[in-house]
Amino acid sequence: MTDKSRASLTEIEQHWSKSAKAPVDQDGLRPVARDPYLQDVVETAMERWLPANGTLFDIGSGDGYSTIRLSRSVAKTYGFDFIPDFVEAARQNAAREKADVSFNVGSVMDLAPVREQFGQADVVTTIRCLINLGTWDNQRRALDEIASVVKPGGLYLMSEGWAHGWEGLSKVRQELGLGSLYLVPHNLLLERKAFEEHVSANFEIIADGTLGLYLLLSRVLQPLYTAPEAPQHKHLINRVSALMTNHGIGDGLFREYDYAGVCVMRRK
């Protein structure tokens, strides 16, 4: 089904091509990960699952900073992005950070060239990549493509965007007079039930890293506290919320507000 309020694939590609031109946006934030503390809790939740001797493919690697961080926990890492300027920026960032990561052009919609050149990985990660595919048909195809590059018994760690968490947060924000969250047109969230049905052919879901506490505190408590000033991604409340989340406080709680939770899947 096509949702007319969502951007087309061409518009999405134009958006990311433009974003890749500058390392930070007008607010001084990375365009690929505007909330640095959300990024931190996602990466921390993923790191727990990375095998020290394994190979990692990070797909939709953007400027490469997350890939570089995750690479410290595995033996060999490859990052793939469909925007050549991001691949170039990620290579430069890896060189600066002295990280042994191979960044290459590749699309999550067609991973046959990646499979031919680099084989399969012990772990594949995606962070907010599949939400940039415009339709559920494209997302389903991408999930199948990802399955084709995970070794049997290997893991797929995914933090994308869950519709139920987004709706839950929007509802509580509205009840408290904050207004619903704004979803940018190039994003399409995943419906958990349809997702589970689809991935069950290739994957067993073995765990969920829950980030609901962080999202509740940063998206509800902080704006209530700072009003009438606008909330800030780098606010101290976000920092301490990330600290608590990384220490396992809130683990398994607030799933109804958790749009970024990490789904851990084992390849059948």
Residues that bind ligand SAM (CB under 6 A): 16, 32-33, 59-62, 66, 81-83, 86, 107-109, 127-129, 132
Task: Kindly tell me which of 108 and 169 has the beta carbon lying closer to ligand SAM.
Answer: 108
Query: Which residue minimizes CB distance to ligand SAM?
Result: 62
Q: Which residue has the tokens 């969502």?
A: 6
**How many CA atoms, within 13 angstroms, populate the side-chain half-sphere of residue 176?**
17
At its nearest, how many Å lie between ligand SAM and the CB of residue 229?
Answer: 26
At its nearest, how many Å lie between ligand SAM and the CB of residue 60?
Answer: 3
Q: Which residue has the tokens 């946006």?
A: 25
Task: Kindly tell me which of 157 and 237 has the beta carbon lying closer to ligand SAM.
Answer: 157
State residue 183 phi and psi, 5-degree precision: -95, 120
What is the enclosing helix (H) or strand (E) of 244? Answer: helix 236-246
Picking from 56, 36, 32, 54, the residue whose alpha carbon sits closest to that of residue 44 is 36
Dihedral sign from CA coordinates of 257, 259, 262, 266: positive
Task: Kindly tell me which of 85 and 251 has the beta carbon lying closer to ligand SAM.
Answer: 85
Answer yes or no: are the C-beta atoms of 214 and 250 closer than 8 Å.
yes
At its nearest, how many Å lie between ligand SAM and the CB of residue 130?
Answer: 8
Picking from 45, 31, 25, the residue whose alpha carbon sits closest to that of residue 212 is 45
Task: Kindly tell me which of 58 and 122 has the beta carbon lying closer to ligand SAM.
Answer: 58
Task: Kindly tell me which of 15 and 172 has the beta carbon lying closer to ligand SAM.
Answer: 15
At its nearest, how many Å lie between ligand SAM and the CB of residue 177?
Answer: 29
At its nearest, how many Å lie between ligand SAM and the CB of residue 65?
Answer: 6
